């Protein structure tokens, strides 16, 4: 059972909002502004068509430096029988013109200066000032209107230059100016109030205490509104107090076209947003069947209700832009908040500015892993996208509604509609792209074991015009991805307990029949990540079996887990003896975060992850971390910058300065073929 009032389908929620706006006469252009034609007009939306006042050019203009003439006067000119034309006197046959000069009324063509012989009055070739000869001699005829920009070649007076609803680009400003305008009429920017709420919120820059949450949603929402052509206003944080939120909403509604009330849209004891909307207007929707973003609130604030409640002073102080003001209760989680604005606010901003709604470009891709979806929801899945060989692949990112970094990393969205309960690995999906096709094709796709050096690689390659995208699925998962043709390379550090060798036997097992290059990235230390002072005194693998020590593990298939299991078996320790063995994280930084938060006493990981969160590190093992890649990609132009990077002194120095790494074998080819 949904905890929200009505968990309705997305299309029904959108229809309810649009219908309410149409009834309030608010599904239309909000207003028109006439602004100077300058660079500040960039990105504005034309409120009406632009018609040319002037022609451009508004006269017959020379397109070359040369001599204007009547084309007919050049008839018969040939190398063996040149024609000589007079420039002086009352009836000249030619006249010098620079590029852009108006043609004399009698002229209808221009001959370039390099195609004439200037002559003085005695008939000698004149070289001193080729622009002022007495005569010119030509050895080829010219056609009428050669090298001429005729009147109206670009724009003819009264023609349509740009239509209504057009988003102004740099070149458009020049076209409007060329057609004779000094101002331009554009749609008024919708004014949007953004109201963050929550007693636990603190502003950006505040010193964080336990339980504090940085308030940055309003920053993201304001940027979204600005990108959509709106004019955002970020209000201060309002604590979880019903009367204070009512007062703040009332204040914002006086001077804004739309109110975004952020957080408090769920059904908890201090979630007041729906009650605020009911108090000040009409609640249209509370709960939409989308993932992420269930607790969306849609409503209409009513001027009469606000004034009758006298919530923010005298009623005469209220100056609503209209009798109704729409309000959207935006969920508090960052991903849900951003998605809510994309789904519900962007179409409204488009209608208010008279432009078409934003439609993201799409491409077809194959999803890299099985993904489940709630059958009753429209499921929005953030993905990274790469082209591996002839296949375009979409790898799902972390699904948490609070993972702001997934918004940063996402190349696009896969939307699984209601009734679809998921997709299998390899199935085709449609991806709504946030990035250009060119960026996608310039992406190196890495799937496999996590290491912070991969982020450093991404940083260095970005300076060389390459995107490096990594997905953390563990060493074994990365090798399986290579076998399936789903990655250009995989990071791996799998120890063979029989031989003590890294990775080679696993390549035969997981990637048979594919010619590969295995190249060493780094040697690195693995050890225990513990809190400062190592309060549990964890110093060896055997200590994990002691009572009172909680452990955080890596996921199945991770090289770190293979390493742990090898040593547990060697010591005869059963996994059941370790508290937390079944608790998993997908990255070394995730393990460090679990220790830092007190969720676990220790975890096996790398020193760099411990340092990142100001934790202590107990070194235990040295291992080799390699990059495995099919030869067809290893030798490709796409991968060339990566292979060169492994021998780059600046990169090697940057890695060596991080704790727990050895670059002595970086770039060594372990296997080829």
CATH number at residue 111: 2.170.190.11
Same domain? 317 vs 338: yes
In a domain, 294, yes or no: yes
**Residue span of the structural domain in which 133 resides:** 61-149
Same domain? 611 vs 584: yes
Q: What is the CATH number of the domain that holds 530?
A: 3.40.190.10
Domain boundary among 168, 187, 206: 187
Domain boundary among 134, 149, 164: 149
In a domain, 262, yes or no: yes
In a domain, 229, yes or no: yes
Same domain? 525 vs 628: yes
End-to-end CA distance of the chain: 57
Q: What is the pLDDT of residues 124-176, one digit of tens each?
A: 887 777 788 999 999 999 999 999 999 999 899 999 999 999 999 999 999 99
Q: Position of tokens 């204007």?
A: 68
Same domain? 474 vs 523: no
> What percent of the chain stands above pLDDT 70?
95
Domain total for the chain? Answer: 5
Q: What is the CATH number of the domain that holds 447?
A: 2.40.340.10
In a domain, 475, yes or no: yes
Q: What is the pLDDT of residues 486-543, one digit of tens each?
A: 899 999 999 998 888 999 999 999 999 999 999 999 999 999 999 999 999 999 999 9
In a domain, 386, yes or no: yes
- 619 three-state secondary structure: strand
pLDDT above 70: residue 367: yes
Token readout for 156 is: 């003819």
| Separation of CA 520 from chain center | 32
In a domain, 583, yes or no: yes
Same domain? 198 vs 181: no
Same domain? 183 vs 262: no
Q: What is the CATH number of the domain that holds 282?
A: 3.40.980.10
In a domain, 1, yes or no: no
pLDDT above 80: residue 272: yes
pLDDT above 80: residue 268: no
Q: What is the pLDDT of residues 449-462, one digit of tens each?
A: 989 899 999 999 99
Q: What is the pLDDT of residues 81-114, one digit of tens each?
A: 999 999 988 899 999 999 999 999 999 999 999 9
In a domain, 4, yes or no: no
pTM of the predicted protein model: 0.83
**What does the mean pLDDT of the chain come to?**
91
Spatial neighbors of 516 by CB under 8 A, at least 6 apart, are 482, 507, 628, 629, 630, 631, 634, 671, 672, 673
Spatial neighbors of 436 by CB under 8 A, at least 6 apart, are none
> Is the peptide bond preceding residue 294 cis, with omega within 30 degrees of 0?
no
- 526 three-state secondary structure: strand
Interval 476-486 mean pLDDT: 92
Q: Confirm if 371 and 38 have CB atoms less than 8 A apart.
A: no
Same domain? 70 vs 16: no
Same domain? 453 vs 530: no
Same domain? 660 vs 535: yes
Tell me the pLDDT band of 421, cut-offs 50, 70 and 90: confident
Q: What is the structure's pLDDT at 317?
A: 43
Separation between Cα atoms, residue 43 and residue 6, nearest integer Å: 38
Q: What is the structure's pLDDT at 437?
A: 87
Same domain? 324 vs 411: no
Same domain? 508 vs 523: yes
Q: Confirm if 493 and 499 have CB atoms less than 8 A apart.
A: no
Same domain? 560 vs 639: yes
User: CA of 549: how far to CAs of 66, 545, 600, in Å?
Assistant: 90, 8, 8
């Amino acid at each position: 059972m949904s905890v929200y009032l009505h968990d309705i389908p997305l299309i029904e929620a959108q229809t309810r909002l649009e219908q309410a706006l149409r009834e309030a006469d608010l599904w239309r252009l909000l207003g028109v502004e006439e602004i100077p034609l300058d660079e500040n007009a960039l990105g504005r939306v034309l409120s009406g068509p632009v018609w040319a006042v002037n022609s451009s050019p508004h006269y017959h203009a020379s397109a070359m430096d040369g001599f204007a003439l009547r084309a007919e006067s050049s008839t018969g000119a040939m190398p063996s029988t040149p024609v000589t034309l007079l420039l002086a006197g009352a009836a000249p046959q030619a006249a010098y013109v620079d590029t852009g000069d108006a043609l004399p009324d009698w002229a209808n063509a221009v001959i370039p200066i390099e195609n004439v012989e200037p002559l003085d009055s005695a008939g000698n070739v004149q070289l001193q000032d080729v622009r002022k000869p007495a005569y010119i001699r030509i050895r080829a005829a010219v056609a009428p209107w050669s090298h001429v920009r005729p009147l109206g070649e670009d724009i003819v007076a009264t023609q349509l230059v740009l239509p209504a609803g057009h988003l102004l680009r740099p070149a458009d400003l020049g076209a409007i100016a060329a057609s004779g305008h000094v101002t331009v009429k554009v749609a008024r920017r919708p004014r949007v109030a953004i109201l963050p709420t929550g007693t636990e919120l603190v502003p950006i820059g505040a010193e964080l205490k336990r339980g504090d949450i940085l308030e940055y949603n309003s920053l993201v929402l304001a940027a979204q509104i600005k990108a959509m052509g709106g004019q955002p206003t970020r209000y201060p944080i309002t604590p979880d107090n019903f009367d204070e939120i009512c007062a703040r909403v009332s204040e914002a509604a006086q001077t804004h076209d739309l109110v975004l009330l952020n957080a408090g849209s769920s059904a908890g004891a201090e979630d007041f947003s729906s009650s605020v909307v009911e108090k000040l207007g009409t609640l249209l929707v509370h709960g939409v069947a989308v993932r992420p973003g269930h607790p969306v609130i849609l409503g209409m604030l009513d001027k009469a209700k606000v004034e009758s409640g006298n919530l923010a002073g005298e009623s005469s102080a209220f100056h609503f832009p209209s009798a109704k003001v729409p309000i959207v209760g935006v969920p508090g989680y960052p991903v849900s908040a951003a998605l809510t604005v994309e789904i519900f606010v962007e179409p409204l901003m488009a209608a208010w500015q008279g432009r078409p709604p934003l439609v993201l470009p799409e491409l077809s891709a194959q999803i890299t892993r099985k993904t489940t979806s709630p059958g009753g929801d429209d499921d929005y899945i953030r993905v990274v996208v790469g082209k591996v060989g002839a296949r375009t692949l979409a790898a799902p990112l972390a699904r948490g509604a609070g993972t702001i970094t997934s918004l940063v990393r996402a190349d696009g969205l896969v939307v699984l509609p209601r009734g679809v309960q998921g997709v299998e690995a390899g199935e085709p999906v449609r991806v709504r792209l946030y990035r250009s096709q060119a960026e996608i094709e310039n992406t190196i796709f890495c799937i496999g074991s996590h290491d912070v050096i991969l982020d450093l690689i991404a940083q260095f390659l970005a300076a060389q015009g390459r995107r490096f995208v990594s997905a953390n699925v563990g060493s074994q998962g990365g090798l399986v991805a290579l076998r399936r043709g789903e990655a250009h390379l995989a990071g791996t550090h799998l120890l063979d307990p029989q031989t003590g060798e890294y990775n080679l036997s696993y390549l035969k097992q997981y990637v048979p029949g594919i010619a590969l290059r295995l190249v060493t990235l780094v040697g690195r230390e693995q050890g225990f990540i513990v809190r400062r002072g190592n309060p549990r005194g964890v110093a060896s693998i055997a200590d994990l079996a002691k009572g009172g020590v909680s452990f955080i593990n890596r996921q199945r298939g991770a090289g770190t887990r293979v390493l742990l299991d090898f040593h547990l078996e060697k010591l005869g320790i059963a996994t059941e003896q370790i508290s937390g063995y079944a608790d998993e994280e997908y990255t070394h930084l995730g393990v460090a975060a679990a220790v830092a938060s007190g969720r676990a006493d220790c975890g096996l990981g790398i020193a760099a992850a411990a340092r990142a969160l100001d934790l202590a590190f107990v070194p235990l093992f040295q291992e080799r971390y390699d990059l495995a890649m099919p030869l067809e990609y290893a030798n490709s132009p796409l991968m060339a910058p990566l292979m060169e990077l492994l021998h780059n002194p600046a990169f090697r120095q940057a890695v060596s300065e991080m704790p727990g790494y050895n670059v002595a074998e970086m770039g060594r080819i372990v296997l080829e073929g």
